[in-house]
Chain A
Amino acid sequence: DTGVSQDPRHKITKRGQNVTFRCDPISEHNRLYWYRQTLGQGPEFLTYFQNEAQLEKSRLLSDRFSAERPKGSFSTLEIQRTEQGDSAMYLCASILGTGGNEQFFGPGTRLTVL
């Protein structure tokens, strides 16, 4: 499968625990995005990487959230001290920066914080 992959697909955790999600973009795509989607809403932008550089962060990305893309390939999104309000679908998308319009989305990681 050469599409965007995300792991895990589902995560249930207790409030206060830390969680980490992984995104593997399409191999030649240098731009990578994280979005959050709550129930009944469209995805909202969280952060963006061009290669290994994190170039933009939304105000939605509180201090408890951190994202990395250490070698410009896969990316991780960590949430520390999870809260019930963090329960959402976390979507990763990638695009080839030099051309094309379509952002290719992964299947998402559904987080439930109890």
Chain B
Amino acid sequence: AQKITQTQPGMFVQEKEAVTLDCTYDTSDQSYGLFWYKQPSSGEMIFLIYQGSYDEQNATEGRYSLNFQKARKSANLVISASQLGDSAMYFCAMREPVSGSARQLTFGSGTQLTVLP
């Protein structure tokens, strides 16, 4: 079963408008972390925002906010006031306490966002 599901392969948004990128996750752990990364065409993964499973408030970082609904196991990314430079691939990822010590990230398949002028 997929641990991270991003159901939107591609999204379009008009410049200056807000957009929501969907992410659902699957875990049986109580302690976990959720991340969003941006990957422009250059390839580098850029960290955007983090939400811990015990955090009661939704995380915000500038124009990015994470709509965390624990019971529904969803962690949607909201980008407000979209800019042309926001056009990129966006990945949702989860870090769980696993049996080993690695605590690596598990990524979804991504959403390609295109901001239209």
**A positions within 8 Å CB-CB of B:** 33, 35, 40-45, 48, 50, 55-56, 89, 91, 93, 101-108, 110
Contact = CB atoms under 8 A, between A and B. Distances in A.
Nearest to A109: B43
B29 interface: no
A45 B105 contact: yes
B64 interface: no
Interface residues of B, number: 25
Given A42-B109, A43-B105, A108 B44 contact: yes
B43 A108 contact: yes
Contacts of B108: 42
B47 interface: yes
Contacts of B93: 42
Contacts of A107: 42-44
Which 4 pairs across A and B sit closest by C-beta, in order of nearness?
A: A42-B107, A105-B45, A48-B102, A56-B102
Contacts of B43: 89, 107-108, 110
Contact of B107 (A44, A56, A89, A102): A44
Interface string B22-52: 0000000000010101000011111100101
Given A43-B105, A101-B50, A91 B45 contact: yes
B101 A55 contact: yes
A40 B109 contact: yes
B106 interface: yes
A90 to B, nearest CB: 11
A102 B75 CA distance: 17
A93 B45 CA distance: 9
Given A42-B109, A45-B106, A56 B42 contact: no
Given A55-B102, A102-B47, 14 more contacts: A33-B102, A40-B109, A41-B109, A41-B110, A42-B4, A45-B104, A56-B101, A102-B50, A103-B47, A103-B105, A105-B37, A105-B45, A107-B43, A108-B43
